[in-house]
Amino acid sequence: MKVDKDIITKIISSDKRAIAKALTLVENDDEGSEKLLKELYKHTGRTSKIGITGPPGAGKSTLTNCLVKLMSDKGYKIGVIAVDPTSPFTGGALLGDRIRMQEVGLLENVFIRSMATRGSLGGLSKNIVEACEVLDASGKDFIIIETVGVGQSELDIAQTTDTTIVVLVPESGDSVQAMKAGLMEIADIFVLNKSDRQGADGVVSTIKNIIHLKPPSKDGWIIDVLKTVGSQNEGIEELFNEIIKHKDHLEKSSYLTIKRKEHLSKKIKELVNNKLEINFWDDTKIRNLNERLEDIALKNKDPYSYVEEITK
Amino acid sequence: MKVDKDIITKIISSDKRAIAKALTLVENDDEGSEKLLKELYKHTGRTSKIGITGPPGAGKSTLTNCLVKLMSDKGYKIGVIAVDPTSPFTGGALLGDRIRMQEVGLLENVFIRSMATRGSLGGLSKNIVEACEVLDASGKDFIIIETVGVGQSELDIAQTTDTTIVVLVPESGDSVQAMKAGLMEIADIFVLNKSDRQGADGVVSTIKNIIHLKPPSKDGWIIDVLKTVGSQNEGIEELFNEIIKHKDHLEKSSYLTIKRKEHLSKKIKELVNNKLEINFWDDTKIRNLNERLEDIALKNKDPYSYVEEITK
């Protein structure tokens, strides 16, 4: 695709088709994508980026939907990136989730995109971070990045958003399991969803106790635990207020600038590493590896010496 | 640490202290680690590598413990790597898990190590894969890699093991959530743990139905769903038999060789990428990035042009 001034202008004026085109470009790492991102960069930086994460089945999609509807009612412009670990045979998302998402996506001021996490060279976050930039440049007030599961990918996402919301449910076993999964370190806001179920209050106080054990946050923010029932649209207004509270806190302290600079530094490093890999692995190198693989598999040569040899 | 012939000999003869030393070396990416791994490489390849993964709270640690005890009783030598997303304030693992693990670790023919996933340059898998090599060279019959959570890290692990076991529980919500989390694609064996709880049979048949929808595996393996109750030591013998069945299947088909070559190729690529990064990011480059960051943050320059400039 040719990147002309036209598409840039259209993206900035929030044209849905132009945004969709740009996201496809970025997602596929197409030729024009870097040129596009270069042009868009100066229009970015005004969006609040919110990550929503937690274990599978916690109701993150439902919660995201409720939040988007509320924000939309209040007149905000919202972008959503739903990060799906792609399944080759299911296409990743559950049908029900997708249908609910699509309804919300029809709203004039809402743009929703599902993105896969797998298989891209240079790790998960590159394309997702770049998709955020497109949405950011298009003038969204909020971008919500919803990620499934707990793992390295979630930590990556937390390192690109301003506010990270961790969603748990009463029956997700011991709430201490969340600690084990490393979620305690990335949360700015905890949400106990499906909190009309048994044991909710117990879980809330356990999480609160754990938070108190944690050394206070660098930026002075105090993490709260909110209760929601996504399916009943309960607690969403309170969650939105907490998001705004965190946003104000970051802006009033100098921490938003610090946080974003850290993210930028991380992003540049990833871009560099990605470029180094692409530049290195040309056809000759890949052919060489394939030719030598048998020999290494048969233990005639060790992989470490081979790596030294080809990176010299 | 100096890598002398002595430590190599000791590792190969399964000396626990030498193994522990070597693992620390590898975990910290210490100077001598590459030299050590080079020497050890020709002694590797006889171990069966088993990955155990699934959502937090599924009882993976308990199941691993049961399995290790059973294997040990049968006279096998076992290595365990418990992959913890490190928490700076909890130390990662739950106390109870750790104590149980330690008991098993006292067995003569068992070696257990917890490893963190976070913060290492070049991604999670490098150090873990290398730790596997140390254990492999020490003559273990089985290495079990237990990972918490679902995400990119689990996919990485599945790409280093021979057999991947996915553990679910009845109350982990819809079992289809596992699909959503990408677990269906990596499982060679499904285990429904805590299967004495309500709804277990329903979940088993749902998973079986999903498996039938999936296109048959390249290597002709048919995935089964087993029921266990880890806390009661139930179903462990059956699980062990299924592991052996899968191991035999891989060995009889030529698929073990194919799989291991794919893993080796992936590993070499990661080693190269890691080396490229380390070689690139010297003090001058890091200083340059820090100096220019402000300018990029202020949108005077875009990160993409900066990356082009420094990678040229």
CATH number, residue A236: 3.40.50.300
Q: What confidence score (pLDDT) does residue B290 get?
A: 94
Check B257 against A297: CB less than 8 A apart.
yes
The predicted structure's pLDDT at residue A60: 86
* pTM of the predicted model as reported, rounded to 2 decimal places: 0.79
Indicate whether B12 belongs to any domain. no
Q: Specify the number of domains making up chain B.
A: 2
Q: Is residue A134 part of a domain?
A: yes
Cβ contacts of A268 on chain B, cutoff 8 Å: 289, 293, 296, 303, 306-307
pLDDT mean across residues, chain B: 84
Shared domain check, B245 and B101: yes
* Assigned token pair, A254: 């100098």
Same domain as B79, residue B128: yes
Residue contact B150–A311, C-beta within 8 A: no
Judged by CB atoms closer than 8 Å, whether chains meet at A269 and B257 is answered as no
Q: What are the tens digits of pLDDT across the range B62-111?
A: 899 999 999 999 999 999 998 765 433 333 445 455 566 667 777 889 99
Q: Is A311 within 8 Å of B117 when comparing Cβ atoms?
A: no
Question: Is residue B204 domain-resident?
Answer: yes
Chain center to CA of B157:
4
What residues in B contact A86, CB-CB < 8 Å? Answer: 182
Of A56, A273, A308, the CB nearest to B180: A56
Q: Which of B61, B84, B90 is the mutation pick for testing A, counting most A CBs within 10 A?
A: B90
Classify the complex by whether its ipTM is higher than 0.90, answering yes or no.
Answer: no
- How far apart CA A244 and CA A140 sit, in angstroms, is 15
Across the interface, whether the CB atoms of B34 and A268 are under 8 A apart is answered no
Nearest residue of A to residue B41 by CA position? A302
Is A280 in Cβ contact with B272 (below 8 Å)?
yes
Contact A92 B180 (CB under 8 A): yes
The three-class DSSP label of residue B50 is: strand
What is the edge-to-edge ordering of all strands in the sheet holding A142-147? A110-116, A78-84, A142-147, A48-53, A163-168, A189-192, A224-227
pLDDT for residue B210:
79
CB contact under 8 A, B276 and A273: yes
Q: Does residue B26 sit within a domain?
A: no
Closest CB to A150 among B45, B149, B302: B149
Predicted local distance difference test score (pLDDT) of residue B107: 84
Quick one: pLDDT at residue B193? 94
User: For strand B163-168 and strand A224-227, is the pairing parallel, antiparallel, or unpaired?
Assistant: unpaired
Shared-domain flag, residues A264 and A286? no
Same domain flag for A193 and A143:
yes
pLDDT value of position B178? 54
User: What would the two tokens of residue A140 be?
Assistant: 């969204």
Residue with the bigger pLDDT between B137 and B89: it is: B137
Name the residue of chain A whose CA is nearest to B171's CA. A171
Residue A123 region by backbone torsions, left for phi larger than 0, else alpha for psi between -120 and 50, else beta: left
Q: Classify residue B59 as left (phi > 0), alpha (psi -120 to 50) or beta.
A: left
Å between B144 CA and nearest CA of chain A: 19
What is the average pLDDT across B269-296?
A: 93
Both A80 and A211 in a single domain?
A: yes
| Same-domain status, A204 and A290 | no
Query: Do the domain assignments include residue A35?
Result: no
Instruction: Check residues A154 and B171 and name the one with the higher pLDDT.
Output: B171
Kindly determine whether residue A310 and residue B178, on different chains, have CB atoms separated by under 8 Å: no
Residue B202's SS3 state is helix
**DSSP secondary structure code for residue B163 in this structure:** E
* pLDDT by 10-residue block (mean), chain A, 312 residues: 78 94 88 92 95 81 93 96 56 52 80 69 65 96 81 67 90 55 78 91 86 79 94 96 97 92 90 91 95 95 95 88
- Are residue A168 and residue A95 in the same domain, yes or no? yes
Interface A:B, Cβ pairs < 8 A? 238
User: Is B27 inside a domain boundary?
Assistant: no
Give B-chain residues touching A272 at CB under 8 angstroms. Answer: 280-281, 307, 310-311
B72, B109 in Cβ contact below 8 A? yes
Considering only the beta carbons, identify the residue of B151, B185, B268 that sits closest to A149.
B151
Assess if residue A262 is contained within a domain. Answer: yes
- Kindly report the nearest CA distance between residue B280 and chain A, in angstroms: 9
> pLDDT digits over B288-311, tens only?
999 999 999 999 999 999 999 999
Question: CB-based contacts of B108: which residues, under 8 Å, 6+ apart?
Answer: none
More reliable by pLDDT, B308 or B184 = B308
CA distances from A279 to A87, A108, B216, B273 (A): 29, 42, 37, 11
Q: Whole-angstrom Cα distance, residue B254 to residue B51?
A: 20
Subunit contact B299:A45, Cβ cutoff 8 A: yes
| Contact (CB, 8 A) for A30 and A1 | yes
Burial class from Cβ neighbours inside 10 Å (0-12, 13-18, 19+) for residue A291 reads exposed
Is residue B18 very low, low, confident or very high in pLDDT (cuts 50, 70, 90)? very high
For B151, the closest of A153, A297, A304 (CB atoms) is A153
Range of the domain at A298: 282-311
Q: Are residues B165 and B300 in the same domain?
A: no
For residue B87, what is the nearest residue in chain A, using CA coordinates? A182
For testing contact with chain B, the best of A264, A273, A285, A293 (most B CBs within 10 A): A273
Name residue, tokens 């794919």: B262
Interface test with B, best of A36, A39, A90, A127 (most B CBs within 10 A): A90
> Chain B closest CA to A120's CA: distance in Å?
11
Q: Which residues of A touch B128 (CB under 8 A)?
A: none
CB < 8 Å to B154, chain A: 151
- Given a cut of 50, whether residue B161 has pLDDT beyond it is yes
User: What is the rounded radius of gyration, in angstroms, for the C-alpha atoms of chain B?
Assistant: 21
Claim to verify: residue A264 and residue A293 sit in the same structural domain: no
* A35 Cβ contact list (under 8 Å, min separation 6): A3
CB of B158 within 8 A of CB of B186?
Answer: yes
Residue of B nearest to A298 (CA): B42
User: B246 with B294, same domain?
Assistant: no
Domain assignment of residue B31, yes or no: no
Judgement on whether residues A113 and A254 belong to the same structural domain of the protein? yes
| Confidence band of B172 (pLDDT split at 50, 70, 90) | low
Check residue B1 and give its pLDDT: 53
Q: Which chain B residue has its CA at the smallest distance from A296's CA? A: B264
pLDDT for B121 equals: 34
Shared domain check, A177 and A112 = yes
Q: Scanning the structure block, which residue is given the tokens 């939040």?
A: A67
Q: Supply the DSSP string of B89-144, one letter for each residue.
A: TT-SS-HHHHHHHHHHHTSTTEEEEEEE-SS-TT-SHHHHHHHHHHHHHTT-SEEE
